[in-house]
């Protein structure tokens, strides 16, 4: 069977706590990323420093009504109970989501791109996107070529992280030349391959798009 979704309601509950076998513990808070403009309702998730503007990442096959949608991240503060708090908290983005609806999520499905078939996945396999620059994001398909300023090592995407002293985010980034937006955040422990899930309500309506960065172990 392909990978199963985890308890993301728990993961996005402020104060949820966990522990690694090493003794390091973590506590979740939910960080606001502002409102993402989705003028076509076609959602793209990728590593923006590598793939934004490349044309290599297609939007998910499930779309939503055009509009502005809140983005938030479940951020883990890590530490050890036998050590004093660090001067600068150790923060890791455990997951990020675009919130589409207000109804509770009752089911999850993998977010797919064209030509991806879950029937072809093996045990615990999943579709997702690759991260090579330690960063993930959400944006509308219409913004694929809307950030010419981000094609080099400069521009609003870089500024969002540099001006925040490389805070993990989420950061709402606006292109000064086109007005398109994206929301970017660091990707958990860094580079890797991460799934995005689509939440649905009991009536089948989309509630969110959520990328899991595998920072938090399953609650015991």
pLDDT in tens, 4-57: 999 999 999 999 999 999 999 999 999 999 999 999 999 999 999 999 989 899
- Domain membership of residue 117 (yes or no) is yes
- Domain membership of residue 2 (yes or no) is no
Number of domains forming the structure of the chain? 1
- Domain membership of residue 116 (yes or no) is yes
Among the residue ranges 137-146, 149-158, 202-211, the one predicted with the least confidence is: 149-158
Give the range of the structural domain holding residue 33, as residue numbers without chain letter: 8-212
pTM across the whole model: 0.95
Find out whether 99 and 69 touch, Cβ atoms under 8 Å.
Answer: yes
Answer with the residue of higher pLDDT: 166 or 5: 5
């Amino acid at each position: 069977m392909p990978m199963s979704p985890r308890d993301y309601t728990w993961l996005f509950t402020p104060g949820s706590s966990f522990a690694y076998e090493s003794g390091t513990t973590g506590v979740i808070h939910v960080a606001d990323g502002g409102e993402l403009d989705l003028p076509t309702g076609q959602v793209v998730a990728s590593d923006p420093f590598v793939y934004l503007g490349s044309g290599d990442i297609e939007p998910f096959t499930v779309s939503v009504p055009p509009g502005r949608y809140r983005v938030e991240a479940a951020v883990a503060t890590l530490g050890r109970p036998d050590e004093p708090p660090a001067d600068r908290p150790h923060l890791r983005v455990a997951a990020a989501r675009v919130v589409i609806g207000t109804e509770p999520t009752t089911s999850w499905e993998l977010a797919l791109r064209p030509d991806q078939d879950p029937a072809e996945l093996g045990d615990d396999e999943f579709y997702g996107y690759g991260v090579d620059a330690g960063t993930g994001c959400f944006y509308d398909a219409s913004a694929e070529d809307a950030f010419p300023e981000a094609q080099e090592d400069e521009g609003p995407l870089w500024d969002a992280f540099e001006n925040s002293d490389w805070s993990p985010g989420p950061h709402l980034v606006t292109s000064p030349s086109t007005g398109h937006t994206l929301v970017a955040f660091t990707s958990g422990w860094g580079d890797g391959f991460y799934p995005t899930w689509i939440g649905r309500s009991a009536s089948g309506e989309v509630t969110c798009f959520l990328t899991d960065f595998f920072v938090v172990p399953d609650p015991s």
